[in-house]
Structure 1
Amino acid sequence: MSERESMPYDVVIVGAGPSGLSAAIRLKQLASEAGAELSVCVLEKGSEVGAHILSGAVIDPRALDELLPDWREDGCPLARTPVTENHHWVLSEKGKSAYPEFLTPPYLHNKGTYTGSLGNLCRWLAEKAGEMGVEIFPGFAAAEVLFHDDGSVKGVATGDMGVAKDGSHKPDYQPGLEIHAKYTFLSEGCRGHLSKQLIRQFALDADSQPQVYGIGIKELWDIDPAQHVPGRVIHTQGWPLTDGSNGGGFLYHQADGQVALGFVVWLGYKNPWLSPFQEMQRWKTHPEIAAILKGGKRVSYGARAISDGGWQAVPKLVAPGMALIGDSAGFLNVPRIKGTHTAMKSGMMAAEAAFAAVQAGRSGDELSAYTEAYEASWVYKELRGVRNVAPLVKKFGDTWGTLLAGVAMWSEHLGLRWPITMQHKPDNEGLLRADQAPRIDYPKPDGVLTFDRLSSVFVSNTNHEEDQPVHLTLKDKDIPIGYNLPMYAEPAQRYCPAGVYEVVGEGDDLRFQINAQNCVHCKTCDIKDPTQNINWVVPEGGGGPNYPNM
């Protein structure tokens, strides 16, 4: 007999990101309109709502306008900084050329968008959800999926608290709590722990292409007021990335004299010597970027994987008793570098399907109405129209790939639909052997403009209870030293942006060390490990980064 207590709800939502909170708000709106009672619970593994939220972010308010039309007048922090300028630079090592905006399809122009902290937007959405009666539990990590005897999803269980590294119970041990629900929404973000499990268990990706990812490294800076132009948005491509790797930088002038800047590397890169973190540091030394940051101070740091697969990589969205929403399903529009609006709309569509089902007395079935709504929605149309952009750039490189991607987007914009959909390959495949790839010489950090990983983790406010089971698990403990090291020079040492993985020792006495307390929950290791040997599972609730204003 389980010692865990249980609580029943109509809908449980795992993750207090934009999709999960939008779903919760929409459920309560529908219940209010119908004069019905509906219980909704949101579980959030971060210590508070927004603690684990990381995005650029430039946000299209389309879904927010639908959900809460008065948000601009209702104290939403996003309203503070509308986008006023839009620039796209192609960088060489010392120079830049500006990409003419008139050559880009209209929806890439950022007209009517806003820039600000996605974490703060989620905090505001959580306040609105709470006012409507949604129960939000920060610091509770959903660690396990619960099933009915017929195989349908019954809900989730939160992780036990107070478990020591050796598995024993400490004096403050508390068993997890079972949350039973008629429908469970997974809003975990990119490469969610439970989402990954259920996609595999229900074969939700059987008819879609492999999801592919990027890793975004972000910093927040207070800069010289003379350099600050609120609402200015800059995107870059080109330097410092070389052949076999793709991505680019962003720099957004936000409120209060701050800029959010960062660098995204697509995780299909081939060179095992590449370090996304160090590429980002090197990018900041470009004269155009360094000039903006001169005299400024870095105040925060973080990293997060993003789903880059687009329309063709969206899996089946539902299984009995559950639905995938937001970046758990991969709704990011890659060329727009925006996913908040599509994530929010997905949560709203799932909420409408679940509410109708509960009102009809149903429970634990497939919410086919959600799938139908998605396929008829502007989200589907938007993603379908740019489905070939990322594959074209990957296949043909920055110059020719970007030109072909532009042709593809203009064609779709003008109603000339391309007859093909290009395919993806999993990101863990295609790494060159270390002896076949050129080493990359990264400069040492200066502590003013560029930094090392450990000092960066410090300003992410990352903290984990050290005496707990390691949440970065190895399927085979011998692979890192026995296979990855001789074949790829153990790339985990470089693709992790937080210094979690090290090869320590000398000669024949080498071992693979996991510094799990440094983990910023980016999920890159779960994605890029060549043999898929690393499995990221949730640590004790409340652990991880605590991002302010990110």
Structure 2
Amino acid sequence: MAEIEREAMDYDVVIVGAGPAGLSAAIRLKQLDEDLNVVVLEKGSEVGAHILSGAVLDTAGLDALIPDWKDKGAPINVPVKKDNFYMLGEAGKIRIPTTPMPPLLSNHGCYIVSMANVCRWMAEQAEGMGVEIFPGMSCSELVFGDNGEVKGVVAGEFGKNADGTPSDAYEPGMILNGKYVFLSEGVRGSLSKEVIAKYGLDADSDHAKFGIGMKEIWEIDPDKHREGTVTHTMGWPLGRNAGGGSFIYHIDNNQVFIGFVVHLNYQNPYLSPYNEFQRFKHHPMVVDLLKGGKRVAYGARAITEGGWQSIPKVSFPGGALLGCSAGLVNVPRIKGNHNAMLSGKAAAEAAHEAIKAGRSGDDLTAYNDDLRSGPIAKDLKRVRNVKPIWSKLGMLPSLILGGFDMWVANLTGWNPLGTWKHGKSDAAATGAAAKFKPIEYPKPDGTLSFDRLTNVSFSFTNHEESQPCHLHLADPDIPIKVNLPKYAEPAQRYCPAGVYEVIEEDGKEPRFQINFQNCVHCKTCDIKDPSQNITWTCPQGGDGPNYPNM
């Protein structure tokens, strides 16, 4: 569709994604120069609609950006009062004392928050400073300049037919050009993925690593609610099948955030992260907590887990990668929002200096240097071996060796174990089905545990069905001809929203079906497909989940 003519608008900085990283960048740019023209483009129907996080927030990033956030009414009101850490067996639990853990793992001074609501508040602050924010505006493609630099994005394209041709209601969208373009799309963003490949930004970094995180919000019996309590677990039900664990956070209003994370480097293609989450809720500890309560929301998304050694170069000609687009989650702390904010602040400062010097479209190396030497580096370097040790040796060695490495790094700034490599990508880690037995999961009871489609309805997901499928197969034959015989087609199980099905009808060949309307934009398929045959792209703006308070 190269012949399509689009109107263009010029800005100083174009920011893709209204998450904590993108909004921090916008706010910092305006703090530095109120005359800068800054625009934020958000694919969700509103700011916060696609934000899903645990979340226990370390306010370090916000403290640096907006020191008086309390006075400004930030929705950050539930300080952590108690930390629990349990190792679970099927019928019981062992409490792991927090005293031997490195201080960096303590949640003292942190807050339990809805990051969706924090982002809504940050958007209000940004708009009050003159930032233009456009929700419901998917960025469908990058625009490049004459020298190969990123010059802008195409946003707001609507009304394509299922085959990709323009419908009668077609809107071509606009080109938004910037002296610099910031990509803060979250995990495995489609434009970020394109930029990393185009400029070879990951040439000197280890494999990117990921987990899948699923979360429900429950309203529980007030007598069981303990506002400010944070609980993490490891062990059952995953055992040796996969790495991961759970979180249970008691926020205000008698609500708890309950979630489950599965590392995506698991081998058994029969494993279903979603069903492991549902099974977890039948542990006696969780049953006792949730009994008499009700689930009010559900969602899922991938989590970056590669850490320090997997961060690509974060600057490129014409722009920068921010937050989870760069992979800045601290895995053992289960936190990344503070680093996302710090990255947005650092990128904004680098862009401001460049624009002030009359530059545009070049490589913001000052931002890349800052990230690799500043507070983000300090946060991530000292925990860099926990995840690869877990992947290679298992959970208990990771607790012991990783804990030792973190303790020494916390005290001295030096990691005695050096830098461990991750090994395979998560897709390549998937084993052949012939080496494993199918896992029989209990049927959901409809009270504590739920089938995927029922839960997806609580993510308030909606997609216009007449548009092209945003989940692209490089080869449509691979799911049935390769993935089904070799891997029992794991897309049926790793997707937490029931998007992928293998339909088997009497007398007919199996066929692969994509129910893209169910997609909650977690990007797991783009990561875990063993043939790397699936590419997640943005549907038209405003489509996808509509998370209320995630």
Q: TM-score, normalised by structure 2?
A: 0.98
Query: Take 2:118 and 2:437, find their aligned partners in 1: how far apart are those partners?
Result: 42
- Matched AA of 2:441: Y
Alignment match, 1:146: 143
Secondary structure of 1:502's partner? strand
Counterpart position of 2:267: 270
The answer (yes or no) to whether the contact 1:391–1:422 under 8 Å persists in 2 is yes
Deviation at 1:414, TM superposition (A): 2.0
Q: CA deviation at 1:373?
A: 1.5
The Cα shift of 1:419 comes to 4.8
> How far off is 1:158 after superposition?
1.3
| Deviation, structure 1 residue 167 | 2.4
The equivalent residue for 2:504 is 505
Q: What amino acid is aligned across from residue 278 of structure 1 in structure 2?
A: N
1:76 is matched with which residue: 74, 77, 91? 74
Give the match for residue 474 of structure 2: 475
Q: Of the candidates 300, 304, 307, which is equivalent to residue 304 of structure 2?
A: 307
Of the three residues 185, 190, 197, the one matched with 2:187 is 190
Matched letter for residue 271 of structure 2? L
Structure 2 partner of 1:523: 523
Deviation at 1:334, TM superposition (A): 0.3
The match for 2:454 is 455
1:251 and 2:248 aligned: yes
TM-score, with length taken from structure 1? 0.98
Query: Partners in 2 of 1:13 and 1:527 — Cα distance?
Result: 24
Counterpart of 2:30? 28
Are 1:290 and 2:290 counterparts? no
- Contact kept, 8 Å, 1:213 with 1:427, in 2: the verdict is yes
**1:239-388 alignment to 2 at 5 Å?**
239-388=236-385
Shift of 1:375: 2.1
Tell me which amino acid in the other structure corresponds to 1:535: T
- Structure 1 match to 2:436: 437
For 1:536, the equivalent position in structure 2 comes to 536
Q: Name the residue aligned to 1:493.
A: 492
Q: 2:201 aligns with which of 191, 201, 204?
A: 204
Distance 1:358 1:167 in 2: 38
Q: Distance in 2 between matches of 1:273 and 1:518?
A: 21
- The one-letter amino acid of 2:16's match is V
For 1:65, the equivalent position in structure 2 comes to: 63
Residue 381 of structure 1: how far off its partner (Å): 1.1
The alpha carbon displacement at 1:413 in A equals 1.3
Letter in 2 for 1:312: Q
Q: Which amino acid aligns with 2:15?
A: I
Aligned to 2:14: 12
Q: Indicate the residue corresponding to 2:419 in structure 1.
A: 421
Report how far residue 244 of structure 1 moved: 4.1
Q: Offset of 1:505 from its aligned partner?
A: 2.4
Amino acid at match of 2:116: G
The 1-side partners of 2:291 and 2:69 are apart by: 35
Identical counterparts, % of pairs:
57
User: 1:435 and 1:457 mapped to 2: Cα distance?
Assistant: 31
Distance 1:349 1:518 in 2: 36
Q: Aligned partners of 1:244 and 1:445: how far apart in 2?
A: 21
Q: Any residues of structure 2 matched to 1:145-164 within 5 Å, and which?
A: 145-164=142-161
Amino acid at match of 1:325: L
1:171 partner amino acid: D
Counterpart amino acid of 2:546?
N
Give, in whole Å, the separation in 2 of the partners of 1:201 and 1:392: 31
Quick check: 2:4–2:172 contact (8 Å CA) kept in 1?
A: no
- Offset at residue 217 of structure 1 (A): 0.6
Cα deviation, 1:202-247, whole Å, max 9, x if unaligned, reads 0000000010000001000000001111110000000000324100
CA contact (8 A) 1:116 1:255 kept: no
- Counterpart residue identity of residue 514, structure 1: I
Deviation of 1:400 (Å) = 2.2
Cα distance between partner residues in 2 of 1:323 and 1:150: 17
C-alpha distance in structure 2 between counterparts of 1:499 and 1:52, whole Å: 18
- Offset, 1:509: 1.7
Quick check: 1:144–1:159 contact (8 Å CA) kept in 2?
A: no
Residue 397 of structure 1 corresponds to: 394
Whole-Å Cα distance in 2 between the matches of residues 411 and 166 of structure 1? Answer: 57
Match of 1:348, SS state, is helix
1:217–1:277 contact (8 Å) kept in structure 2:
yes
Match for 1:420: what amino acid? G
- Cα deviations by residue, 1:499-522 (Å, 9 ceiling, x for unpaired): 000000235421000000000000
RMSD: 1.0
Structure 2 CA distance for aligned equivalents of residues 167 and 478 of structure 1 = 20
Residue 364 of structure 1 aligns to a residue whose secondary structure is: coil
Cα drift, residue 417 of structure 1: 2.5
**Alignment-mate amino acid for residue 145 of structure 2:** H
Letter in structure 2 aligned against 1:525: C
1:190-213: CA deviations, max 9, x gaps?
Answer: 000000000000000000001000
* Equivalent position SS for 1:450: coil
Contact conserved, 1:159 with 1:175, CA < 8 A, in 2? yes
What is the count of residue pairs matched by the alignment? 545
Quote the residue 1:466 is aligned against. Answer: 465
Describe the superposition over 1:30-61 as per-residue Cα deviations: whole angstroms up to 9, x where unpaired.
004xxxx2000000000000000000000000
Shift of 1:369: 1.1
Cα shift at 1:435 = 1.9
Q: Secondary structure at the match of 2:70?
A: helix
Please give the alpha-carbon distance, in whole angstroms, between the structure 2 residues aligned to 1:151 and 1:489: 42
For the residue of structure 1 that corresponds to 2:340, the secondary structure is helix
Distance 1:73 1:31 in 2: 23
Map Cα deviations across residues 461-488 of structure 1 (whole Å, 9 max, x no partner).
Answer: 0000000000001000000000100111
Q: 1:94 corresponds to which residue?
A: 91
Q: Distance in 2 between matches of 1:198 and 1:290?
A: 45
User: Separation in 2 of the partners of 1:358 and 1:411?
Assistant: 41
Matched residue, 1:47 = 45
Q: Give the gaps of 5 or more residues in structure 2.
A: none
1:374 shift after superposition: 1.4
Please tell me the residue identity of whatever aligns with 2:13. Answer: V
Aligned residue identity for 2:500: Y
Q: For 1:391 and 1:263, locate their aligned partners in 2 and report how far apart those are by CA, in whole Å.
A: 20
C-alpha distance in structure 2 between counterparts of 1:330 and 1:31, whole Å: 28
Aligned position for 2:111: 114
Partner in structure 1 of residue 547 of structure 2: 547
CA contact (8 A) 2:183 2:320 kept: yes
The offset of 1:164, in angstroms, is 1.1
Q: Secondary structure of 2:539's partner?
A: coil
Distance 1:400 1:3 in 2: 58
Tell me, in whole angstroms, the C-alpha distance in 2 between the residues paired with 1:217 and 1:503: 23
Gaps of 5+ in 1: none
SS in 1 for 2:187: coil
Query: Which one-letter code corresponds to 1:534 in the other structure?
Result: I
Amino acid at match of 1:523: K
Structure 1 Cα separation of the partners of residues 219 and 113 of structure 2 = 14
SS state at 1:341 partner = helix
Distance in 2 (alpha carbons) for counterparts of 1:402 and 1:15: 35
Aligned-partner Cα distance in 2 for 1:132–1:306: 31
